[in-house]
Every structure is written in C-alpha cells, then in structure tokens.
Amino acid sequence: MSTKFTTQSFLEAKRANNKITMLTGYDYSMAQILDTCGIDAILIGDSLGMVVQGRDSTVEVTMEEMLYHCKCVARGTKNAMLIGDMPFLSYHISPEEAVRNAGRFIQEGKMNAVKLEGGKPMAETVRSIVRAQIPVMGHIGLTPQSIHVFGGFKVQGKEQKQAISLMEDALALEEAGAFALVLEAVPEALAKLITEKVRIPTIGIGAGKHCDGQVLVINDILGMYSDFTPKFVKQYAELKQTIVEAVGGYIQDVKTQQFPETKHTFSMNEALLEKLY
C-alpha cells in the first residue's frame, strides 16, 4: 500500500540514509504521472516562470499564478508530498505577510508545505511560518530570486567567506524550524559538509551526490526546455523531439486526409438528415 510522504518521512529518510526524490511539477497530467511513478515530493516551483511562462527569470511570478498551478497539481496527486514555492516579494515585506501568504498555499493551493529562498536574514520569517503550523523548506546557495544581486546564475560558496556564510545560513534555517533545505549550485564538498552538520535533510540541485535527496526541473529532465540548460541537469528523455515528430505526423495526416479515420468519427441514421436538405 502506498502512503503519503510527509515532513516526518523526510526526516526518517535522512536517518535511514534513503535518498529523497523530488521533481518540479506544474499541472494535473504531469502530477498524476509523477505520483504514479512514486516520486517522494513534487515542488510546484516558481521555475514555472521560465519553463511554463517563458519569462527570463522567476522574479515576475505572482502569488495568484503560483496558487493556480498548486491547485492543478494537487488535483493530480495522492501520495507525493506537495511543496509550494513562495514567489518573490510574497515573504520579504514582513513576517505577518509571509504567514498570510504561506497560509494561502495550504488553504487555497492544497499544499503540504512551502519553500522559500534565503538564509540567515529569512530565519525570523521561517520561524513565524513554522509557528503557524506550516512546514517550511529552506533554499540556499544559488537562489534564483536574487539573480539581480548575484549578477547571473552563478555557483555559490566557492570562496571561503561565502562558504562560511552558507554553513551559517543552513544552521540558522534548521534552528528556525525548517524541515529540509534545498542546496542549489553549491560545490559538492561544501554540500557534503552542510549535509553532515544539519539534522534536517538536504535536497541538492547542482550540489553533488552527498545530499540527502535530489531535485530537478521536470521540463529539463524530459528534454522539453532548451532556452537554458544548467551543467547539473541530467536529461532522461528527448520529449521535444518526440513532440516535434508527433505533431508533424498529425499535420501530415490532416493535410493528406489520413486523419480522422472512421474509428474516430460518430455515425447516425442518415435518413434523419433528409429533413435538413
């Protein structure tokens, strides 16, 4: 019998050294597929701003857009834990506003937890959301909502000062009550050290094999998004090519009247049509 993956399952997986699997998902059909595959968690990531909406970054994504996609994914999911990504400015202005918006992810979006970006400066906000009984996943390293501060999608923590700061971020988020931590684009050795130091699971994306779990963007692993492919992506399918071939076949069939065939059409008593002539 399959059971729902929960925050508790995250902690148990770390203790048992079972790697946690997470992928992004943005719609009902894909959520059904991911859930059937037995993925542990689905992140409704604000990466949808890029791979679904075609924007240059994630910073323009709004609360309403995130909630729309969360609801779609929730309808297609039974067992995977659902984590809603808090968009830019939905948790920065005040802890009160952050709690209200996190609550919307749970009440309206039907999420089981939220994720937000940032380390030490966000600890107070994380604490407030957790106090409202909403589980929070932290996200440090390359945090795409800070792209304008970083000056691009760059690996974080290569310099000693940055590495120390990332370790402090991880410990501060754990102390604030986060149940897990995404480490994005962080050198493998540093991710290993952070993973050993914190009791909560680390979920890596471009952070190497020592993290307690991994996450990738679904469109990247399926080969459906080619505007920008980070070094850390492993592509497991070439769906773009498969779709190009399928749509080409459809166009060809319609033009040459190979489609629709009789089996795709509905019949009626044609005598009834006489009255229409």
Residues making contact with ligand KIV (CB under 6 A): 24, 43, 45-47, 85, 139, 182, 184, 205, 215, 217
Catalytic residues: 184
Nearest approach, Cβ of 258 to ligand KIV (angstroms)? 40
Nearest approach, Cβ of 184 to ligand KIV (angstroms)? 6
Nearest approach, Cβ of 143 to ligand KIV (angstroms)? 8
Q: Which residue is nearest to ligand KIV (CB)?
A: 45
Q: Do 16 and 57 touch, CB atoms closer than 8 A?
A: no
Choose between 152 and 271: whose C-beta lies nearer to ligand KIV.
Answer: 152
Choose between 41 and 190: whose C-beta lies nearer to ligand KIV.
Answer: 41
DSSP class of 182: E
Element (H, E) at 251: helix 239-255
Element (H, E) at 170: helix 160-176
Choose between 73 and 246: whose C-beta lies nearer to ligand KIV.
Answer: 73
Distances (CA, A) of 135 to 22, 102, 131, 146, 180: 16, 9, 9, 23, 9
Strands 213-216 and 81-85, by their bridges, are unpaired
Q: Do 63 and 130 touch, CB atoms closer than 8 A?
A: no
Nearest approach, Cβ of 44 to ligand KIV (angstroms)? 8
What is d(CA 74, CA 77) in angstroms, rounded to the nearest whole number? 5
Q: Do 137 and 42 touch, CB atoms closer than 8 A?
A: no
Q: Which residues partner with 183 through β-bridges? A: 140, 204
Choose between 68 and 269: whose C-beta lies nearer to ligand KIV.
Answer: 68
